[in-house]
Amino acid sequence: MPTRTSDEDTTVVSTNEVRLAGRVTSAPEERALPSGDVIVTFRLSMAREPSPMTKGSRQTSDWVDCVAFGARARRSVAAWAVGDRVTVEGALRRRFYRSGDGAATRVEVEVLRAGRARA
């Protein structure tokens, strides 16, 4: 849902909505975070559409890491397998975490709704 902020003469609308359709390229993996929260992560690959930026590129697809936090989304994606055609809706999120090398960050899609694509 768009967020509106208002200044004297200017209204700025911010939107963070992601809709993707592609193939699962890494098996969904359930993990418990140090906070006790449980997440399911997976990677989604989509065919690359031509654009001014991709003109002349030999790369034919793009991929994005996805994470499901909510119980319903976790149940949906946990049943997927590599190669499944799926759709996800959610938002871009920057997540901070600790790794063996110290603090790290990544941008991923927070999955809010998910399902297998219809054939």
Tell me which residue range forms the domain holding 23: 17-49+58-116
Give me the CATH number covering residue 84: 2.40.50.140
| pLDDT at position 119 | 66
User: Residue 25 class from Cβ within 10 Å (0-12 exposed, 13-18 middle, 19+ buried)?
Assistant: middle
Residue 1: its pLDDT value, please?
A: 56
Per the structure, the count of domains in the chain is 1
In a domain, 97, yes or no: yes
Taking only the tens place, the pLDDT of each residue in 49-83 is 888 888 888 888 999 999 999 999 999 999 999 99
What was the pLDDT predicted at 6? 59
Q: Is 95 part of a structural domain of the chain? A: yes
Write down the pLDDT at residue 4: 62
List strand residue ranges (DSSP E) for the chain, in order. 3-6, 11-14, 18-32, 38-47, 61-68, 85-99, 102-116
Residue 104, pLDDT score: 87
Q: What is the mean pLDDT of residues 28-54?
A: 92
Domain contains 71: yes
Residue 1 lies in a domain: no
- When pLDDT is averaged across residues 32-45 and rounded to a whole number, the result is 94
Answer yes or no: is 21 within a domain: yes
